Amino acid sequence: MGTLPLNYYLILSAIVFSIGVTGVLVRRNLIVVLMSIELMLNAVNLTFIAFSRFLGSMEGQVAVFFVMAVAAAEAVIGLAIVISVFRHRQSLDPQEMQLLKW
C-alpha cells in the first residue's frame, strides 16, 4: 500500500505518549500507572519503527526489539514491587507512599 508521510506517524506517537504521561500523573492506582508507562514505551516503539521504515535501516527495528525485552523485564519487576508494597500497606495509592520510612 502507498505510504503516508512520516509526520503522521510521529504526531500519532506524540499524542499517545502524552496520554501516557497524563495517566502517570493523574491515576491513583499504581498498576494503572505502570500500564501508562507501557503505553509510553509503545509510543516510542512506534516512532522507532516509523523512522526505521523511512530511513531504510534495520537499526530502528533492533532498538524496538531491545525496548520490548527491557519493557518486559521492567513490567515484571514493577509488578513484583507492587505486590510487596501491597502486602505492607494494603493500598495501591501512590500518594500514600510518600514517606521513605513508616
Residues within window 41-60 making contact with another protein, judged by CB under 8 A: 42, 45-47, 49-56, 58-59
Does position 31 interact with another protein (CB under 8 A)? The reply is yes
Does position 89 interact with another protein (CB under 8 A)? The reply is no
Distances 81 to 22, 61, 75, 86, 91 between C-alpha atoms, Å: 22, 30, 10, 8, 13
Does position 2 interact with another protein (CB under 8 A)? The reply is yes
Distance from C-alpha of 38 to C-alpha of 42, rounded to nearest angstrom: 6
Does position 88 interact with another protein (CB under 8 A)? The reply is no
Instruction: Please give the size of the binding site for another protein, defined by CB under 8 A.
Output: 76
